[in-house]
A and B are shown apart, each in its own frame.
Chain A
């Protein structure tokens, strides 16, 4: 008597254990905490030009991480996050002009940027992914053109940030440094928490295959909207830090698409789609900037060409290269399977 045999049946099933992180990842997190503490002591140890450099690096890290959230986890390329950089800066300016301490205005800038991002998201999400990029750019241009009409905010010629004149310059620089460090650490932590949450799983699914994710019940539009707002909030924080560290703001500079260029470059070189990528990218970019910025346009030609080459041939960036080889993850957001 013939019995049907299902072809290809395994002779037994292997038991499998699922864990959130490996030991190497735990050490990575501890290491990160130690690094933050060490960094916090720097103002006592080094001169202001080093901490200034780091402030700019931290701001860039925040911006690039926020861009990376949108691009790497939602597949949405934005060329208009500078809109929220500007919003953050001008919120701090307005607050300072009304007597609020600029440092205390930073969280406020974050909230305002997020609040504005919500209605804007309804507009820009009407565009398909490819046109979304330019749409965000138009929004940034609109913010710029509207803001320069307000003389009280400096109009087109810029204005200084009040409220910090009475603080001792050295102390002010240290305060700015600590604020930047705090914001950067908070941004990375928030990203890590978001991505290791249920939403993070949804986002990874969307990143890997949007159609499949949708049919599995993932609320794609909602997830994308959340990420857009979070990304805007982070950029708002970056803008707040910018005006505080520069002590003035110029509309054409703060709303410049050059910020998007920097974000994109850093995220691309470091590696889109991982938390560690922007950290690597910021480090590399800062080095390049320090050594080559004096060459003006040539330096930008180099950056642009590098971006093109990396996008085409090294899509996972430098961090992708490293983590692929060594199976490293500082921020464990995936799952590991162990045979038991």
Chain B
């Protein structure tokens, strides 16, 4: 079959996974929290976008203008009200709390939106593609998602290295106590980091809705792919999430070429191989994040 096509699709899929992974990585790198409801929040964003589309008739591709900032504010609240408090009970309480939130979100969506799957109506864009060679065509939507991921990562990198808030976030991630002695309001800074993470989660959810269908229970699978991308790429490296996402995407695409139902399993096996052979991931972390 068409191996080159599969690999290219896999690389582009990596962009989607990187979008999912960078929020997970950012929240863990800064706040030291693994959000088990990460995928479910993305699905929630996708449903929110659907609501925006049906009530305001904003084109699907522009819904991020409304949804991302909303999610940023939402993330700030979740961090300061729920996650911060859970962290004070014990570091692992956050796992239990976010797991509980995951169950709540999935079932709230089930109750309000039904179990049917949805996707965004992008009209002709869904099937439009760039014909690179007679055997290879690149869909516009996957390409846009990939480019979005790259832009987001560059933006994050610049924000963290060039702005005062970015510096404060990195400082608080390094040493929370020393940061507060230097005058950093660490709780607020963690809130900002969570806000940014949630904004990327919203973008990931919108990307999901644009590229495939989603239903209330689609969250956990997204969490697992995001996590695998983080581990393969290397915990603590932002660009690692892109590398990890690409490897995962390619593994899944190649696996699906070999066996149509084996894509996801192939991804899992590559993840386990990386875990067994190079658990620190492919990219060594230079930043704490």
Contacts and interface: CB of A to CB of B under 8 A. Distances in A.
Nearest to B109: A297
Contacts of B110: 297
A167 interface: no
The A interface is mostly helix, strand or loop, or mixed, namely helix
A205 interface: no
Interface residues of B, number: 44
A305 B97 contact: no
A243 B32 CA distance: 39
Contacts of B92: 71, 75, 77, 129-130
A23 interface: no
Interface string A241-270: 000000000000000010001001000100
Contact of A134 (B36, B104, B279): B36
A133 B95 contact: yes
A131 interface: yes
A308 to B, nearest CB: 4
B227 A138 contact: yes
B38 to A, nearest CB: 9
A137 interface: yes
Interface string B106-132: 111011000000000000000000000
Contacts, number: 123
A172 to B, nearest CB: 34
Given A141-B224, A301-B111, A315 B275 contact: no
B46 to A, nearest CB: 19
Interface in B216-240: 220, 223-224, 227-228, 230-231, 235
B107 A131 contact: no
A138 B268 contact: yes
A282 B274 CA distance: 38
A79 B100 CA distance: 12
Contact of A264 (B86, B99, B230): B99
Interface in B150-172: none
Contacts of B32: 130
Nearest to B216: A297
A315 B24 CA distance: 25
List the 10 shortest-distance A-B pairs measured between CB atoms, nearest first.
Answer: A304-B103, A307-B100, A304-B104, A308-B100, A126-B279, A297-B107, A311-B96, A145-B265, A130-B34, A300-B107
25 contacts: A77-B92, A79-B99, A122-B276, A130-B34, A131-B28, A131-B34, A131-B230, A133-B34, A133-B36, A133-B99, A134-B227, A135-B231, A138-B227, A138-B272, A257-B220, A264-B96, A300-B104, A307-B100, A308-B97, A308-B100, A308-B101, A311-B86, A311-B89, A312-B97, A315-B90
